[in-house]
Amino acid sequence: MMSNSLTSTNAPKISPQTNASTDEQFVEVWLAGRPPTTARVYRTAAKQFLNFVEKPIKAIVLEDLQYWCASLTDIYNTATIRNKVNFIKSMLSFAVRVGYVQLNIGAAVKPQKPWQQLSQRIVDKDEIVKLIAAGKTKRDRLIMECLYILGLRISELHQLNWEDFRVRPDGSAIATIKGKGAKTRFVNVPRPLYNKLLALKADKPWVFANYRAERLSTRSINRVIKASAAKAGVNPKISAHWLRHAHASHSLDAGCDLPLLQQSLGHSSLAVTQVYLHINPEKSSSQFLSV
């Protein structure tokens, strides 16, 4: 009889490479070294999964993972489900790699590929102008300007410190951005924008602060955008990441080349950046042909 690779007793034993004795300890080992925002999202997904299956990781079988995936369809959209499933697959792969479990049941589960919705998240330039103008304070307007003009992720704006800027002879600046996966990149800050930022400067290391002079949280940054969107009458779903999408799309429309955009956004590969070439439903090669 052919043995099942997922249950075979002949599978080689892997010597544990972790001292974790509980799932809680193991999850923290898995998350070690990840950026705080990423770790928080992954930890939430892991907790949700383990609460659903109601058994330790070492006792989980393929059906547990399949039932959990099915349960998500009534709650989340396809893109969110795909992310959550990939988080758990990553956790289970790591569990095998360090010898916490012997078999990777996550390898048998393939998350559904989401329908491409990026084109729906591109905001017109006029709407960007309205959104920024609707900012309640100079700080709020600058938050949105930086997200759009510099193409930053919300976590990158949150972490921005004054020491990250290097002033150039023409009055503009180069900002050192601490990106995803601890990757560093350099972004040009135009002189008009840098001068506006300097007008905010206070005796604190961080660029954006709350009314208590503490570093502004990502949650507060999101509130600023939502409040401005409501006042401006633009799409209420707009977020910090939509401003980053708009930066990419509008830069390409203005003639920016793909490698430069990839470098500016901190994308891991050109393939990620190339997605922005396909998001304008009003443009296609057919407009250049006639008979």
Q: Could you give the residue numbers annotated as active site?
A: 153, 180, 241, 244, 267, 276
Inter-residue long-range contacts of 56-61, CB under 8 Å, 24+ positions, other chains counted: 56/23, 57/23, 57/26, 57/92, 57/95, 57/100, 57/101, 58/100, 58/101, 60/92, 60/105, 61/105
What's the rounded Cα separation, in Å, for the pair 46 and 65? Answer: 12
Alpha helices for the chain (secondary structure H): 23-31, 36-53, 62-72, 78-97, 125-133, 138-150, 154-159, 191-198, 218-232, 240-253, 258-265, 270-274
Q: In what order do the strands lie in the sheet with 184-189?
A: 165-167, 173-178, 184-189
By CB atoms closer than 10 A (0-12, 13-18, 19+), residue 101 is buried
What is the residue whose two structure tokens read 């989401």? 114
What is the residue whose two structure tokens read 């012997």? 102
